Structure 1
Amino acid sequence: MIRIALLSNPRSTGNRALLPRVRSFCAHHPEIFHYEVERVDQIDAALRTIARVEPRVLVINGGDGTVQATLTELYHGGQFEGTPPPVAVLPNGKTNLIALDLGATGDPIEALQRVLDLARGDDLSDHIVTRELIALTHEIDGVSDGLKPVLGMFLGGAGLTEVLLYCRHKIYPLGLPNWLSHAITGFALMASVIFGIRAAFLPNKPAPVTVSLIRQGDIKGSFSVLIVTTLKKLLVGSRMGGGTAHTGALQLMAIDQNPIALIRALVAGLFGKLGSGIMHGVHIRRGDEIRIEGDRSSVILDGEIFQAALGSSIVLRPTNPLPFLRLAA
């Protein structure tokens, strides 16, 4: 019996060293159906093949782009009859935000063993959670461009986009461990935002944007941090809780391009107070539709860059929930 279908992308950075171990693990565990793709346009066909073996769990082994593309195809493709199997994500990408939210940390092979142990059990219900996804589309003068929405769980914009691009293009190529790369990026963020230092080796200054929420008005300005997510463990210390029909499934946090506001948010997060009350310069909202507009309104959704040209909008809406497998107890 096939317990797990494992979808791997050999071209992801993490798999260059990991994939031989993954292949060896799968060779010793016939309950795992291992399917490898080298391009995102192969994922739909991969999922249709995987659906035929009827796995109890679908595991994604790849970078952030692979996870995003798989979730997009899974949601739109209809490869599985009825509800698809719960999805688990190995901690293999550079940021691993989705894996972290689902309790998959540390060594990817150990996480895969944990998934297999759960899949061998009689009842997965205690470990299945649902998550809405963010559906990203473009609109020009209020009219959709007609393209299929791209789905993900974490979106960064404004100054956070500049920081993520800085980390990707200037720090990751140095070949440093992830933790050190992220630490250097954090120091660069502090230097540019808190101390106002401007230099070619630091992240670019964010451009002004307008963020609109239905029935909650607009938030305008330059932001050091702009986050929209459906993840539960990202906004550390926030008390926003789960979304409802009245509050909305999309969590938004925007922090003004102001050192005092950023420090307030960091301190509030450390003490578990973020989102518990009004804080000048820190905007925390929930909604079911969020629009981002600006001259350079670039955003990064689960590691992939999207940009709206002047006069167009990036529109975010929640999807219906998908099942995921949570590894943490």
Structure 2
Amino acid sequence: MASAPLPDTIARDRSIRRAGPPRVGIISNSRSHRNRVRGAEAAVVPADTPNLLYRGPRTLPALAHALREFRDAGVELLIVDGGDGTVRDVLTCAHSIFEGAMPRLAVVPSGKTNALALDLGIPPEWTVQDALHASASGTVRTRASVEILRGDAEEPELCGFLFGAGAFVRATELAQRTHKAGAFNSFAVGISLFWGVAQTLFGGRDNDWRAGEPVRLQLDQGPAVDKTLYILFSSTLERLPLKVKPFGRVRPGLKMLTVDAPPLKMARAVPALLRGSEAAWLKKAGYHRDDVSSFTITLDGGFILDGELYEGGTVTVRQGAPLEFVTP
């Protein structure tokens, strides 16, 4: 059974009201793209700002230590100054440290990819100071993360927002190459998407893109099915870069797209998928969309979570608890 939808906002027409200034913790990634170019935004916040803790951890153990400091200090607003990968690392560490009592979050989009910020309506030029101001007068939007559990584990190993396997892994590798060439955000997504489709359309029968990957897939509590997939893409985000709609109509919850291998009618199907078409012929041609609360996949190849490649095996992907994000 699909999980219950989350409201897009919980404070669309009202300010966030508190008895006093919130205790704020800032995690800044000095190696994120914008911070390397312009300097870390958090660094320009006055040191004597009341109720503010700033940390710039460079390793996962240092990040965990900083988050424990924030928890013990009673932080009410956690600002993440970085890209999607930084958000993934912070949420993954924070899940066990805050034990279900997560503070409100704010994202300053300073990475190479900032899909979460785009979905939340955060402008590219948003700063730490903007997030601080929004904590008093902005809107709060809710999003659930994607949680990844390994084998029979009950607690997630990873928390993020964009999960993919099969051709999604190759497309991500292409995106990382475009980053090195100076392309970022939606432009990088566009280049990678175009090149991936071209590789598939014009490749021969032995083309790795077309061949797909054998997997065992189980949706919610349904039966496990062995199949070969060209791509699997899943997310709890509602709005994606370039305004593409691979899951169809915009809606909350954990959504997934799977494409059978080898993909059929791609020249017609890809434009239809990207604009959100829900025509019946797409499913008949092997393009499947599902709303789920969780799914379990076994695959030999790796999977991608928010731009990072992880080892395959048997993993369960589920919708996590709702998180509150401060937005403009």
Does TM-score exceed 0.5, indicating one fold?
A: yes
Q: Is the 8 A contact 1:2 1:30 kept in 2?
A: no
The alpha-carbon distance between structure 1 residues 181 and 118, as it changes in their structure 2 partners (threshold 3 A), is: closer
What is the DSSP-based 3-state SS (H/G/I as helix, E as strand, rest coil) of the residue aligned with 1:49?
Answer: helix
Gaps in structure 1 of 5+ consecutive residues: 244-249
Equivalent-residue separation in structure 1 for 2:280 and 2:252 (angstroms): 14
Shift of 1:182: 3.2
Counterpart among 304, 307, 325 of residue 300 in structure 1: 304
Q: Is the 8 A contact 1:254 1:282 kept in 2?
A: yes
Shift of 1:60: 0.5
What is the DSSP-based 3-state SS (H/G/I as helix, E as strand, rest coil) of the residue aligned with 2:109?
Answer: coil
Alignment of 1:117-156 (within 5 A): 117-121=133-137, 127-139=139-151, 144=152, 149-156=157-164
The alpha-carbon distance between structure 1 residues 78 and 276, as it changes in their structure 2 partners (threshold 3 A), is: farther
User: Are residues 1:223 and 2:229 paired?
Assistant: yes
Shift of 1:163: 1.0
TM-score scaled to structure 2, two decimals?
A: 0.78
Q: Residue 183 of structure 1 corresponds to which residue in structure 2? A: 190
Q: Please give the per-residue CA displacement for 1:215-262, whole angstroms capped at 9, x wherever unaligned.
A: 44456544343112111224727237334xxxxxx3111123425157
Shift of 1:159: 0.5
Q: What value does the CA root-mean-square deviation take over the aligned residues? A: 3.3
Q: Please give the per-residue CA displacement for 1:154-211, whole angstroms capped at 9, x wherever unaligned.
A: 101111111102322x3322334555433332221121122226999x9796423232
Equivalent-residue separation in structure 2 for 1:262 and 1:215 (angstroms): 34
For this pair of structures, how many residues does the alignment match? 301
Shift of 1:145: 6.2
Q: Is the 8 A contact 1:162 1:205 kept in 2?
A: no
Q: Is the 8 A contact 2:92 2:159 kept in 1?
A: yes
Q: Please give the per-residue CA displacement for 1:271-303, whole angstroms capped at 9, x wherever unaligned.
A: x4348896322111122231112332x111122
Q: Residue 122 of structure 2 corresponds to which residue in structure 1? A: 104
What is the DSSP-based 3-state SS (H/G/I as helix, E as strand, rest coil) of the residue aligned with 1:321?
Answer: strand
Q: Is the 8 A contact 1:167 1:182 kept in 2?
A: yes
Q: Is the 8 A contact 1:4 1:119 kept in 2?
A: no
The alpha-carbon distance between structure 1 residues 262 and 60, as it changes in their structure 2 partners (threshold 3 A), is: farther
The alpha-carbon distance between structure 1 residues 148 and 106, as it changes in their structure 2 partners (threshold 3 A), is: closer
What letter corresponds to residue 325 of structure 2 in structure 1? Answer: F
Structure 1 vs Structure 2: percent identity of aligned residues?
A: 24
Shift of 1:35: 1.8
Shift of 1:3: 5.9
Q: Is the 8 A contact 1:209 1:293 kept in 2?
A: yes
The alpha-carbon distance between structure 1 residues 115 and 208, as it changes in their structure 2 partners (threshold 3 A), is: same
The alpha-carbon distance between structure 1 residues 41 and 185, as it changes in their structure 2 partners (threshold 3 A), is: same
What letter corresponds to residue 90 of structure 2 in structure 1? Answer: T
The alpha-carbon distance between structure 1 residues 167 and 206, as it changes in their structure 2 partners (threshold 3 A), is: farther
What letter corresponds to residue 164 of structure 1 in structure 2? Answer: T
Q: Residue 290 of structure 1 corresponds to which residue in structure 2? A: 295
Q: Residue 251 of structure 1 corresponds to which residue in structure 2? A: 255
What letter corresponds to residue 227 of structure 1 in structure 2? Answer: F
TM-score scaled to structure 1, two decimals?
A: 0.77
The alpha-carbon distance between structure 1 residues 226 and 275, as it changes in their structure 2 partners (threshold 3 A), is: farther
Gaps in structure 2 of 5+ consecutive residues: 1-20
Q: Residue 214 of structure 1 corresponds to which residue in structure 2? A: 220
Q: Residue 171 of structure 1 corresponds to which residue in structure 2? A: 178
What is the DSSP-based 3-state SS (H/G/I as helix, E as strand, rest coil) of the residue aligned with 1:157?
Answer: strand
User: Are residues 1:322 and 2:323 paired?
Assistant: yes
